[in-house]
Structure 1
Amino acid sequence: MSKELSAALSAAEKIRDQIFPEASTCMLAGSVVRGDATAYSDLDLVVVFERVENAQRQSFTFGGWPVEAFIHDPQTLEYFFREVDRPSGVPSLPNMVSEGIEIPRETKFGSLMKDLASRILEEGPLQWGQQERENSRYAISDMVEDIREPRNTAELRIVVANLYSAIADHFLRSQNRWSAKGKSIPRRLMSVDPEFHKRFAEAFEAAFTSDDTADVIRLCEHVLEPDGGFLFQGYTRDAPKEWRMPDA
């Protein structure tokens, strides 16, 4: 066990004892558990009680550690798994529970929560329908047109940054795989398809460092090709019928 993980576990146990003594389980998760923490990484804790009035996220500092605590009971935890993370396609909370280390030791209650998280991860995200695929294709197509002949460097870099997430999400979700967001994107792509991750990283490196978007555009073509390529002509998207002001 590394010194960083040992220190994090010690701090997490004190947090449980002093702040959440009535919790049924407390799990340390995140970068310190994965082994890729930095000097500025926080402690991610999933704290599960028998019953809470509502789920809650708390941010505080303890013993020099910045802490993010995700407070739940079994019902709110399952709700977030099924009604928040599965539709979003990003399994933030199931991953934390599945990979988390129980503090101070494993419990039957904690094992049940981990089993639930594992089942959700095995089920995968909600599958994209045709409309979701077309919405993603259209959004990416629109951004690609913006970088073919950008008005200025500032706009180019903003659009490239947005494409970074959009392309990764389409690549993963169109295969009915769990997606990722933010700094987790490279790690997720590497775990799913190392060859694609390499191509993705090189394309965006060129775009970010030298404003050369040729490989990013080719990458977009490659990712969208199985769904029919770029999309503009014939695209429609209906607003909900209830989106209207009532008659006077």
Structure 2
Amino acid sequence: MGDGNKLNPVEAARLFVNKYFPHCEGALLAGSVIRGEATETSDLDIVVFDKQFHTSYRESMVAFGWRIEAFVHNLTSYKEYFFSDYERAQPSMPRMVAEGIILKDEGVIGPIKEEAKELLDKGPKEWSTELINTKRYFITDALDDFIGCTNRAEAIFIASSLAESVSEFVLRINKRWVGTSKWIIRSLRYYDVEFTNQFVEAFDEFYKNEDKQKIIQLVDEVLEPHGGRLFEGFSLGKIRRE
């Protein structure tokens, strides 16, 4: 981690749980430190299951030389987060639980981990044809704005919007989980490394050299199997009177 004064992350996490949640039924250490992806600014993500709390909450603090994010649940409240993450196709909580290293377990962690793994394996719900067409339309709209834009500052942000919407489209069409921020690229890599490299190269080429062509080509290749760009004939919310 680049800081000789920091405790080992697992040791620090156990000390944290023992001090702040001594009566909890279970706790896990999750996040980048257990995946071997930690950076100088990484914190400890600790999931706690403690039946004395009526509702879930999240709290940030500094302890034992680490910045710590505590995600505290009782033995049922975590289910709401599992369901919410499933609905938005961003499995933050199930992933933390499934990947997490057990810090403490009074016999509750096993079933919760199994529940998380089953949800991750299931994948997000499949998109309807109507939703696919809606996404195609808005990607087409953004792409047209991008192609016609002559203001570099505006084009940068249109490109950012395209990156997010196209990554979501690719992943959801293939029934894969999506993400935000750094998890956009991580989610794409989990799906297809070769496509991800093409994706990064296309946007990098624009940001460095103002060359839009690779982004345009990428978007068209993504949309083509699903009918290509969509404008004419698209309708949203139209209701005819009887």
Report deviation, 1:132: 2.0
Q: Give the TM-score of the pair, scaled to structure 2.
A: 0.90
CA-based RMSD: 2.1
Distance 1:232 1:182 in 2: 29
Task: Tell whether 2:150 aligns with 1:124.
Answer: no
Distance 1:239 1:63 in 2: 58
Residues 147, 59 of structure 1: CA spacing in aligned structure 2 closer, same or farther, 3 A cutoff? same
Check the 8 A contact 2:16/2:64 in 1, yes or no. no
Secondary structure of 1:38's counterpart equals: coil
Task: Tell whether 2:168 aligns with 1:169.
Answer: yes
Question: 2:12 maps to what in 1?
Answer: 11
Question: 1:244 maps to what in 2?
Answer: none
Report deviation, 1:184: 1.5
Distance 1:72 1:238 in 2: 39
Distance 1:85 1:111 in 2: 20
Secondary structure of 2:76's counterpart equals: helix
Question: 2:91 maps to what in 1?
Answer: 91
Distance 2:233 2:156 in 1: 29
Report deviation, 1:50: 2.8
Question: 1:26 maps to what in 2?
Answer: 27
| Larger mean Cα displacement after TM superposition, 3-12 or 134-143 | 3-12
Distance 1:236 1:39 in 2: 49
Check the 8 A contact 2:98/2:113 in 1, yes or no. yes
Question: 2:51 maps to what in 1?
Answer: 50
Distance 1:236 1:12 in 2: 53
Q: How many residues align?
A: 236
Q: Which runs of 5+ in 2 are unaligned?
A: none
| Larger mean Cα displacement after TM superposition, 109-118 or 228-237 | 228-237
Which amino acid is the alignment partner of residue 192 of structure 1?
Y
Secondary structure of 2:206's counterpart equals: helix
Which amino acid is the alignment partner of residue 227 of structure 1?
H
Alignment of 1:1-248 (within 5 A): 7-50=8-51, 52-82=53-83, 84-104=84-104, 108-238=107-237
Check the 8 A contact 1:89/1:179 in 2, yes or no. yes
Which amino acid is the alignment partner of residue 48 of structure 1?
F
Distance 1:94 1:239 in 2: 38
Distance 1:235 1:56 in 2: 42
Distance 1:132 1:46 in 2: 34
Residues 51, 138 of structure 1: CA spacing in aligned structure 2 closer, same or farther, 3 A cutoff? farther
Q: Which runs of 5+ in 1 are unaligned?
A: 241-248
Query: What percentage of aligned pairs have identical amino acids?
Result: 33
Distance 2:231 2:150 in 1: 21
Residues 217, 74 of structure 1: CA spacing in aligned structure 2 closer, same or farther, 3 A cutoff? farther
Secondary structure of 1:131's counterpart equals: helix
| Larger mean Cα displacement after TM superposition, 125-134 or 89-98 | 125-134
1:67-90: CA deviation from partner (whole Å, max 9, x where unpaired) = 1111112322122112x1111111
Question: 1:243 maps to what in 2?
Answer: none
Check the 8 A contact 2:29/2:44 in 1, yes or no. yes
Check the 8 A contact 1:42/1:66 in 2, yes or no. yes
Secondary structure of 1:75's counterpart equals: coil
Distance 1:239 1:10 in 2: 59
Distance 2:131 2:225 in 1: 14
Distance 1:32 1:86 in 2: 24
Distance 1:134 1:75 in 2: 37
